[in-house]
């Protein structure tokens, strides 16, 4: 397992439920994976391809799962495949669905996938002229990877111009020297994570996350402050439409470009007020914290799904089996996140939280002389299941309240969109 976040902890947790998995090595893992039986953290960077290949070859590793987008965009899959290793995650060419928004937009246009109208620019003056002609609201996106900070939803032309000047001025380095300017879409966002072997593509349960730091979905964007699944916004008819209009054309067009995409294709969608799904972005990996609500609901052994993708036999796999429950996840962050925050605070109460039956996934933690301490912006992701969203959310918060560390922060309104709909 390559990565160190809550998503990777959830993937390892799920894999280890299968007796077929002898052992998992986490590169570099976190304080949560360090405490799992049959799991070993290896202090190695996610971009150390040579080190990862050597470790995998020496230990006869059957499957390498890549969590984050950065090593995928850097070509980890290509490198490891050249060493005859099995990798779940797209090649560098495939990872462009996420690493270049202009490339992804061109792919969507070629595949006739519904998405916001957009244009790409490498020249700041042409970009400003385009914004002035279009007017606001309008969305400005740095082309490359910007750790989730490259998008500005501008409500005025001035704000859009400021975002363009910041991007071309070097705020995101090379990632911001091209921008995509996009029509503003209204609606509800949903996350459709789909697994694919390059030929067949199958969606996992539909999820929604809460990107913003503040209650009522206000304030700065974060990596994600909570999530829930399966969201009732996506009916089975809508899921079928997403499959036919978005997922299948994406894979077919990737294939037509010579890209054999094996991994997760994550479609971030806006469901418009008319009920139409439109793609906001593609990601080349599992979502975080969506994974922390999707995997606890999955009944099919995860390694069967991942191996079917890497061995290109997903079509033969039986339909995925799911628990008929709701799952909710609340992220506990360090005070100050997504801006400056402190690390190294001792964490208490995880056992008490887990005693409620909730699952505590670690995101930014580490063991320091046997003491668990905070080690990132998002620190923990607490997931609970229930027969209704109301029950799952209440359970997750009951567990969250048992956890303490200095200056912790979490949103108190995770799932507010579904709670309203369920009350009737
Ligand atoms: P992205 O990194 O492309 O997912 O964008 C980050 C966030 O910006 C998304 O999750 C949306 O909340 C918002 N966003 C991106 N594109 C649009 C759009 N075309 N219309 C409205 N909001 C958008
Ligand atoms: N939760 C959003 C993401 O993983 O990109």
- Smallest CA separation from ligand 2 atom 4, residue: 287
Average pLDDT, the chain: 96
- Smallest CA separation from ligand 1 atom 16, residue: 280
Mutation test of ligand 1: which of 280, 284, 290, 417 has the most ligand atoms closer than 8 Å to its C-beta? 280
- Smallest CA separation from ligand 2 atom 3, residue: 287
Ligand 2 lined by 415 (C-beta under 6 Å):
no
- Smallest CA separation from ligand 1 atom 19, residue: 184
Structural domains in the chain, CATH included, are: 2-91 (3.40.50.20), 123-177 (3.30.1490.20), 188-316 (3.30.470.20), 326-423 (3.90.600.10)
Ligand 2 atom nearest residue 148's Cα: 5
CA angle 346, 349, 354 (to 5 degrees): 135
pLDDT at 424: 38
User: Which residues, in sequence order, are bridge partners of residue 27?
Assistant: 2
Q: What tens digit of pLDDT does each residue of 90-114 get?
A: 999 999 999 999 999 999 999 999 9
Structure tokens at 265: 């294709």
* pLDDT at residue 73 greater than cutoff 90: yes
Exposure string of 241-258, with b = 16+ CB inside 10 Å and e = fewer, is bbbebbbbbbbebbeeee
Ligand 2 lined by 224 (C-beta under 6 Å):
yes
pLDDT at 422: 57
Ligand 2 lined by 283 (C-beta under 6 Å):
yes
Ligand 1 atom nearest residue 211's Cα: 10
Q: What tens digit of pLDDT does each residue of 61-72 get?
A: 999 999 999 999
CA angle 302, 305, 311 (to 5 degrees): 135
Ligand 2 lined by 209 (C-beta under 6 Å):
yes
More confident residue, 175 or 316: 316
Instruction: Output the CA 58–ligand 2 centroid distance in Å.
Output: 33
DSSP character string of 319-374: PPPB-SSEEEEEEEEETTTTSS-----B-B-HHHHHHTT-EEEESSEEEETTEEEE
3-class SS at 300? coil
Largest Cα–Cα separation, the chain: 60
Instruction: Output the CA 410–ligand 1 centroid distance in Å.
Output: 22
Structure tokens at 196: 């694919």
Q: 379 and 222 in contact (C-beta within 8 Å)?
A: no
Q: What tens digit of pLDDT does each residue of 17-26 get?
A: 999 999 999 9
Ligand 2 lined by 6 (C-beta under 6 Å):
no
Q: Which ligand has the shortest distance to the CA of 115? A: 1
Q: What tens digit of pLDDT does each residue of 198-232 get?
A: 999 999 999 999 999 999 999 988 999 999 999 99
pLDDT at 421: 65
Matching residue, tokens 């893992």 = 29
pTM of the predicted model, to two decimals?
A: 0.96
Q: Within a 10 A sphere around the Cβ of 50, how many other Cβ atoms?
A: 10
Ligand 2 atom nearest residue 287's Cα: 4
Mean pLDDT calculated for residue range 29-45? 97
Q: What tens digit of pLDDT does each residue of 346-357 get?
A: 999 999 999 999
Give which of 284, 217, 234 is closest to 67, Cα–Cα. 284
Helices 92-99 and 101-111, axial angle in degrees (round to 10): 100
- Cα gap 358→398, rounded to integer Å: 9
Ligand 1 site residues (CB inside 6 A) read: 116, 139, 141, 151, 153, 182-185, 189, 211, 221, 268, 280-281
Instruction: Output the CA 85–ligand 1 centroid distance in Å.
Output: 35
Structure tokens at 163: 């975002």
Q: What tens digit of pLDDT does each residue of 117-148 get?
A: 999 999 999 999 999 999 999 999 999 998 87
Matching residue, tokens 């995409």 = 261
pLDDT at 423: 45
By CB neighbour count within 10 A (0-12 exposed, 13-18 middle, 19+ buried), where does 324 fall? exposed
- Cα gap 6→166, rounded to integer Å: 31
Instruction: Count CA within 13 A, CB hemisphere, residue 269.
Output: 31
Mean pLDDT calculated for residue range 76-85? 98
pLDDT at 154: 93
Phi then psi dihedrals of residue 131, to 5 deg: -60, -45
pLDDT at 398: 98
Instruction: Output the CA 400–ligand 2 centroid distance in Å.
Output: 21
Instruction: Output the CA 281–ligand 1 centroid distance in Å.
Output: 7
Instruction: Output the CA 33–ligand 1 centroid distance in Å.
Output: 32
Q: 242 and 269 in contact (C-beta within 8 Å)?
A: yes
- Cα gap 37→21, rounded to integer Å: 11
- Cα gap 419→228, rounded to integer Å: 11
Give which of 27, 17, 28, 23 is closest to 38, Cα–Cα. 23
Ligand 2 lined by 281 (C-beta under 6 Å):
no
Give which of 277, 123, 283, 111 is closest to 194, Cα–Cα. 283
Residues 6+ apart with CB under 8 A from 9: 30, 32, 33, 361, 362, 363, 381
Instruction: Output the CA 352–ligand 1 centroid distance in Å.
Output: 37
Ligand 2 lined by 296 (C-beta under 6 Å):
no
pLDDT at 147: 81
């Amino acid at each position: 397992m390559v990565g160190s976040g809550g998503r990777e902890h959830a993937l390892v947790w799920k894999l280890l439920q299968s007796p077929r998995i002898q052992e998992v090595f986490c590169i570099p893992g976190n304080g949560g994976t360090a405490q799992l039986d049959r799991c070993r953290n290896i202090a190695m960077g996610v971009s150390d391809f040579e080190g990862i290949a050597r470790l995998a070859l020496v230990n006869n590793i059957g499957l390498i799962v890549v969590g984050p987008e950065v090593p995928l965009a850097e070509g980890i899959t290509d490198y490891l495949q050249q060493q005859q290793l099995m990798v779940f995650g797209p090649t560098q060419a495939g990872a462009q669905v996420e690493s270049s928004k202009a490339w992804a937009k061109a792919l969507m246009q070629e595949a006739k996938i519904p998405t916001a109208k957009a244009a790409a620019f490498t020249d700041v003056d042409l970009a400003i002229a385009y914004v002035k002609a279009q007017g606001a609201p309008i969305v400005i996106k740095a082309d490359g990877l910007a750790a989730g900070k490259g998008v500005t939803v501008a409500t005025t032309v001035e704000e859009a111009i400021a975002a363009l000047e910041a991007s071309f001025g070097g705020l995101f380095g090379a990632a911001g020297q091209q921008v995509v300017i996009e029509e503003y879409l209204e609606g509800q966002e949903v996350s459709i994570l789909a697994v694919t072997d390059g030929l067949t593509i199958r969606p996992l349960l539909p999820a929604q996350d809460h990107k913003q730091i503040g209650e009522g979905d206000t304030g700065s964007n974060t990596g994600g402050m909570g999530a829930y699944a399966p969201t009732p916004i996506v009916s089975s008819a809508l899921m079928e439409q997403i499959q036919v209009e978005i997922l299948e054309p994406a894979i077919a067009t990737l294939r037509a470009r010579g890209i054999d995409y094996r991994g997760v294709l994550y479609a971030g969608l806006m469901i418009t007020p008319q009920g139409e799904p439109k793609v906001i972005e593609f990601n080349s990996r599992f979502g975080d914290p969506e994974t922390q609500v999707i995997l606890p609901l999955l009944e099919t052994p995860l390694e069967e799904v991942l191996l079917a993708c890497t061995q290109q036999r997903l079509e033969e796999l039986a339909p995925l089996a799911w628990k008929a429950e709701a799952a909710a996840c609340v992220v506990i962050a360090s005070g100050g996140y997504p801006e400056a925050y402190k690390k190294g605070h001792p964490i208490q109460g995880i056992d008490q939280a887990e005693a409620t039956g909730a699952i505590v996934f670690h995101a930014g933690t580490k063991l320091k002389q046997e003491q668990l301490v905070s080690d990132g912006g998002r620190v923990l992701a607490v997931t609970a299941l229930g027969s209704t969203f109301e029950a799952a959310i209440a359970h997750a918060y009951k567990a969250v309240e048992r956890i303490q560390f200095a200056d912790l922060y979490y949103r108190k309104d995770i799932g507010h969109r579904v709670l309203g709909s369920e009350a009737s």
